[in-house]
A = this chain, B = another copy of it.
Amino acid sequence: MRQSLKALLTLRNWILDGTLSAGERLWEPTLATRLAVSRTPLREALVRLEHEGLVEAAERGGYAVRGFSPDYLKQTIEIRGTLEGLAARQAAEARHPASRLEPLHRLVEHIDTIVSRAQLDEEALNRYVTLNGAFHQHLLALAESMALSEALERIGNLPFASPNAFVMSYAHSASAHRILFIANDQHRCLVDALAAGEGARAEQIAREHARIAQRNLDSALAHPAGLNAVSGGALIRQP
């Protein structure tokens, strides 16, 4: 188990940071040596990565690193937004007491202080990424649906699909302020909808919110240098 987990984490990193590149055939004996693990745990790690969607069965047996078209990324963002919409709706319909929404309010205010800074440097973006991730995690928890948490966790294995995907590609970009300001206003409206028990509205805000990731993707694809700042960016195959 330990060996298998070590192999999984290392391989995942190598794939996401581009050490292993999209389409590359994975030779198990070579990998076992590089990772210093035996074949059974390596195999287990590869099966997990296949289920996560990062490797796929190669034509002549074994595995290869998967590559992703911009279309596939777009689809994944849409699925994530749709499932987060479901989470938001269920969180609103659950009519939680105000105290359970309190952390969301505080995250929105906290993000506001970041977004209103004159300079959005890498450190500020990192801070945004942490708080934004916390917001989305908390929202999901309010849906109280184990099946939905599992489904979103599976989608989240692909880093392009995460609420924070492509945010880092804004480092040194003038648009960061505008896009993150809009994103946080959507957070605010979402919390208002939860507080008012407006499930339909909450669902639609969450969906539209995921379109920010889509806009970020479009912007990153238009300035491919930005893709290097993005986890998994090396796996994107532009047509």
Contacts and interface: CB of A to CB of B under 8 A. Distances in A.
Nearest to A179: B185
A53 B51 CA distance: 11
Given A43-B40, A48-B47, A75-B147, A208 B204 contact: yes
A111 interface: no
A86 interface: yes
A182 interface: yes
Main DSSP-derived SS at the A contact region = helix
Chain A residues touching B, range = 35 or more
A207 B202 CA distance: 12
Interface of A: 1, 39-40, 43-44, 47-48, 51, 53, 61, 72, 75-76, 78-79, 82-83, 85-86, 89-90, 93, 95, 145-148, 150-151, 154-155, 178, 181-182, 185, 189, 196-201, 203-205, 207-208, 211
